[in-house]
């Protein structure tokens, strides 16, 4: 008996998605609750599991197709045996043995390590379209590349890394009578068109909407990171031993932001029509880099959580963002955003708010700079911080005050402990 696989609910206000990748192909065996397809929505990628055990039947949508919630996208034959096994596999082998072993044999082919196309027992059907394109373009044998994706699947980055290693490897010596390959055409100018993912399209729309709707303004300050760096160095070993997580900068800034948002409530508020919504809690959206773009999962109740719990939450979000297991609930809500461009080397930026929020804190790289302290020039580890805000709701005085509170709390972390 065949069981239809339908698109499940993808979250509040989400009515459709895009087939990102088929994890199973017709004839593949599947267990109960085993993922068979990943569906990309405006915010996250969701894996759809099989409700029954059996064999994958017909796929009714292709990768890249837009599908609505509730639509039938595949079927599973319950209790069946995988195709191309048992008698069918034996017959296939006999036919293969009987066929003449020459270059005319038809078989799935992929490029080998020399860039030539040759037969392989690697499952080329398991590769996503982007990976297959990269394999063919760079002449890489996927059987010789270790996959770093989920369940060991090959990613485009794996292929590009293998291609770079191949280019950097010393060329093998050639015999004097070996034919010299014709030189590649010089001045080649290649282009590639890739359809924007739904996530990237949504990011583009939301950021442009923020610019079109909000009255954006950014205020800057710089922070002496000496005290936080010394605190981390002093307690890092005991902190990691007790809590099982490293003490990072983000927990300090999250706690410092809580002090600022409590004293300047408008920075933690949002505009809803002709009303202002104030929040008596602090849910911080943390910008995390994922393979398909920037996502902002929410660390909830920062005002009530310890440094350790904040660090554990952020580490968990980072891990799940990489393997694509963030859920819609992880992304919902948020009253304030912290974006750390410093991990990528950014010295200064003007971050864009995350609607409907009204403010975002931008962190940047730490670098030694000469500053004047008590009338003397000293070298200190300094960081520029930026607060972008919606001027429709937040006045300049309030924004500057909030950023100053964050600066003072970071330069003197004791303020966080005594709620000053």
List the catalytic residues.
391, 395
Contact 222, 383 (CB under 8 A): yes
Torsion (CA) 165, 168, 174, 180 in degrees, nearest 10:
100
Using DSSP, state whether 2 is helix, strand or coil.
strand
HSE-up of residue 66 (Cα within 13 Å, Cβ side)? 8
335: which residues sit within 8 A by CB, 6+ positions away? 261, 268, 269, 270, 279, 281, 282, 283, 284, 357
Three-state DSSP class for residue 117: strand
Distances (CA, A) of 369 to 245, 254, 273, 348: 30, 25, 45, 14
Q: Which of 209, 197, 200, 196 is nearest to 354 (CA)?
A: 209
- Which of 336, 381, 330 is closest to 362 using CA atoms? 336
Residue 40, Cβ density class (10 Å: 0-12 exposed, 13-18 middle, ≥19 buried)? buried
C-alpha pair distances (Å), 50 with each of 10, 54, 168? 16, 9, 43
Instruction: Please confirm whether the linkage preceding 190 is cis (ω < 30° from 0).
Output: no
User: What span, in angstroms and rounded, lies between the C-alpha atoms of 230 and 95?
Assistant: 71
Tokens for 7, please give them: 């698109």
Cβ within 8 Å of residue 279, ≥6 positions away: 268, 269, 335
Radius of gyration from C-alpha coordinates of the chain? 27
């Amino acid at each position: 008996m065949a069981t239809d696989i339908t698109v499940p609910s993808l979250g509040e206000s989400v009515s459709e998605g895009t087939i990102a990748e088929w994890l199973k192909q017709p004839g593949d065996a599947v267990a109960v609750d085993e993922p068979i397809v990943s569906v990309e929505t405006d915010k996250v990628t969701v894996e759809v599991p099989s409700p029954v055990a059996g064999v994958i039947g017909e796929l009714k949508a292709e990768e890249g197709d837009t599908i609505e919630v509730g639509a039938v996208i595949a079927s599973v034959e319950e209790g069946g045996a995988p195709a191309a096994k048992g008698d069918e596999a034996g017959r296939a082998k006999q036919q293969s043995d009987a066929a003449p072993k020459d270059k005319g044999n038809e078989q799935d082919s992929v490029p080998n390590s020399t860039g030539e196309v040759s037969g392989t027992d690697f499952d080329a059907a398991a590769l996503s379209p982007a990976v297959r394109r990269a394999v063919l373009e760079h002449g890489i044998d996927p059987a010789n590349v270790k996959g770093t994706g989920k369940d060991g699947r090959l990613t485009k980055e794996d292929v590009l890394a293998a291609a770079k290693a191949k280019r950097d490897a010393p060329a093998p010596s050639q015999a004097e009578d070996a034919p010299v390959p014709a030189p590649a055409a010089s001045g080649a100018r290649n282009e590639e068109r890739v359809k924007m993912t739904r996530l990237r399209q949504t990011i583009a729309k939301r950021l442009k909407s923020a610019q079109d709707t909000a009255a954006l303004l950014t205020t800057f300050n710089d922070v002496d990171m000496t005290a936080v760096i010394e605190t981390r160095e002093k307690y890092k070993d005991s902190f990691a031993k007790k809590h099982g997580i490293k003490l990072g900068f983000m927990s300090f800034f999250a706690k410092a932001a809580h002090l600022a948002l409590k004293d300047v409530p408008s920075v933690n508020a949002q505009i809803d029509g002709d009303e202002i919504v104030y929040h008596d809690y602090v849910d911080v959206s943390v910008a995390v880099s994922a393979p398909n773009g920037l996502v902002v999962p929410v660390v909830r109740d920062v005002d009530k959580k310890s440094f350790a719990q904040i660090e554990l939450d952020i580490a968990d979000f980072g891990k799940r963002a990489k393997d694509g297991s963030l859920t819609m609930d992880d992304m919902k809500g948020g009253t304030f955003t912290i974006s750390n461009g410093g991990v990528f080397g950014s010295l200064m930026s003007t971050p864009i708010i995350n609607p409907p929020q009204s403010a975002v804190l931008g962190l940047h790289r730490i670098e030694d700079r000469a500053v004047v302290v008590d009338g003397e020039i000293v070298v200190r580890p300094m960081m520029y911080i930026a607060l972008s805000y919606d001027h429709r709701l937040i006045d300049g005085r309030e924004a500057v005050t909030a950023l100053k509170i964050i600066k003072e709390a970071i330069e003197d972390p004791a303020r966080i402990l005594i709620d000053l």
